[in-house]
Amino acid sequence: MEFIIAPLIISILTGILAAIISITDKIVNNYGEITISINNGKKEIKIDGGENLLTTLSSKEIYLPSACGGRGSCGACKCKVTSDVGEYLPTEIPYLTKEEMKENIRLGCQIKLKKDISIEIPDSLFNVKKYEAVVEKIVDVTHDIKEVLFNLGNEEINFTAGMYMQLCIPPYDKIKNETQRAYSISSKPSDKHHIELLIRLVPGGIATTWVHTYLKEGDKVKLIGPFGEFEATPTNSTMICVAGGSGMAPFKSMLYHMYENNINDREIWYFFGARTKKDLFYLEELAELQEKWPNFHFVPALSEPEGEEWKGESGLITDVLDRYLKTIINSGYKEGYLCGSPGMINACNNVMTANGIKLENIYYDKFA
């Protein structure tokens, strides 16, 4: 009998304790109504305090970028806070540069709202919405990259080629909470009712495992966006673009947008690096685009072409880029556009700056 009574008493006591903690939290941490003033009062939100800034704003349909769902592990939710919200937390510091800290940039998910607050966010964030989409089509473009087309139904989206969306991953298997991950948009801005993403399987990755294992045509998903400032400048300088794998996405969007809108008088060189032939995709589409567009040059390169029938460039994409910058594209004003891992971006930055492209003229979309 005591085997039953003891656990019962413990569970009752635990329940009472949890209730006391919850009531105490509500009484002690009752911050009352607070005001969030955005962009010098352009918008004001009145809401009960106590939650973090990221969650509070999203409850009012203002979305800061977030790739970790507010767990303080992505550093994406930056915004400028112009009122006093206390010292930086140790969880914020690794994601902020000294310059950002001087500018009072904070991580929205780490700011608990205890009193009125003033913030500044880019106006473009007012265009960010949560979309309920249906998966219209999934295509395996390589052994580990899926092209996923989402239909937004009657909703319209306005974005600039190069921007990204956050895909909301519902709980599955042992993953108990919704997760969000950022993916560059690969579709053209002119298609306002669809969003296409290229999603490469990352072994052990929560989002990519879900996409590659569970997501199927007809499924309903949530997307938040558009976000980002990676876009082609409105100049006539030569664009030197470099990507690998799913880094193809923003360039696909930019190239087809530029071609469609006759923005075709500037030279564009697109270097696409892959390990072997099975990692290459869209070769025919891009070769076709090159045929129709004399200023566009597509340079796919394989780092491990051994034993393959391959007539294109071979070697690390940085070496191929270096070769071309020294011999073929060695004059004129140039801008760099990079999409890939931090390592790839740093290596390409070094090659570009060594070949005379100024650091301030190199734009990038860095994978986390």
Residue with smaller CB distance to ligand FES, 36 or 107? 107
Which of positions 109-128 make contact with ligand FES (CB under 6 A)? Answer: 109
Q: Find the shortest distance in angstroms from Cβ 60 to ligand FES.
A: 17
Strand residue runs (E) in the chain: 33-38, 43-48, 78-81, 105-107, 117-120, 129-140, 145-151, 164-169, 179-184, 194-200, 220-227, 238-244, 268-274, 296-302, 313-314, 334-340, 362-366
> What is the Cα–Cα distance from 203 to 323, expressed in whole angstroms?
33
Which of the ranges 63-71, 115-123, 244-252, 301-309 carries the binding residues for ligand FES, by CB under 6 A? 63-71
Which residue's CB is nearer to ligand FES, number 224 or number 351? 224
Classify burial at 341, counting beta carbons within 10 Å of its beta carbon; exposed 0-12, middle 13-18, buried 19 or more. Answer: middle
- CA-nearest of 227, 244, 225, 224 to 321 is 244
In a 3-state reduction of DSSP, which class is residue 285? Answer: helix
CB 59 within 8 A of CB 49: no
Maximum alpha-carbon separation in the chain: 89
Choice from 68, 175, 202, 289 touching ligand FES (CB under 6 A):
68
Span interacting with ligand FES, options 25-33, 61-69, 281-289, 321-329, rule CB under 6 A? 61-69
C-beta separation of 6 from 14 below 8 A: no
Between residue 82 and residue 111, which ones bind ligand FES under the rule CB under 6 A? 107, 109
d(CA 305, CA 45): 57
Q: Please, what is the minimum distance in Å from the beta carbon of residue 368 to ligand FES?
A: 9
* 67 vs 255, beta carbon nearer ligand FES: 67
Q: Report the alpha-carbon distance of residue 37 to residue 43 in Å, rounded.
A: 6
Q: Are strands 117-120 and 78-81 parallel, antiparallel or unpaired?
A: antiparallel
- Minimum CB–partner distance for residue 109 and ligand FES (Å): 3
Give the binding range for ligand FES (CB under 6 A) out of 72-80, 182-190, 242-250, 339-347.
72-80
Question: In the set 53, 76, 169, 199, which binds ligand FES (CB under 6 A)?
Answer: 76
Q: Which is nearer to ligand FES, 106 or 200 (CB)?
A: 106
Asked whether position 66 contacts ligand FES by CB under 6 A, the answer is yes
Rounded to an integer, what is the distance from CA 182 to the centroid of its chain? 3
- The site string for ligand FES over 12-51 (x = CB under 6 A, - otherwise) reads ----------------------------------------
Residue 77 contacts ligand FES per CB under 6 A? yes
The residue among 67 and 339 lying less far from ligand FES, judged by its C-beta, is 67
Q: Please report the sign of the dihedral spanned by the C-alpha atoms of residue 91, residue 92, residue 95, residue 101.
A: negative
Q: Closest separation between CB of residue 116 and ligand FES, Å?
A: 21
Applying CB under 6 A, which of residues 36, 49, 62, 75 lies at the interface with ligand FES?
75
Residue 162 binding ligand FES, by CB under 6 A = no
Q: Which of 72, 250, 300, 305 binds ligand FES (CB under 6 A)?
A: 72
DSSP 88: P
> Which of 74, 240, 249, 352: binder of ligand FES (CB under 6 A)?
74
* Strand order from edge to edge, sheet including 362-366: 313-314, 296-302, 268-274, 238-244, 334-340, 362-366
For residues 242 and 340, is the Cβ–Cβ distance under 8 A? Answer: yes
- Comparison of 75 and 336: residue with beta carbon closer to ligand FES: 75
Cβ–Cβ < 8 Å for 316, 351 = no
Candidate segments 64-72, 129-137, 229-237, 323-331, binder of ligand FES by CB under 6 A: 64-72
Q: Could you list the residues that contact ligand FES (CB under 6 A)?
A: 54, 66-68, 70, 72-77, 107, 109
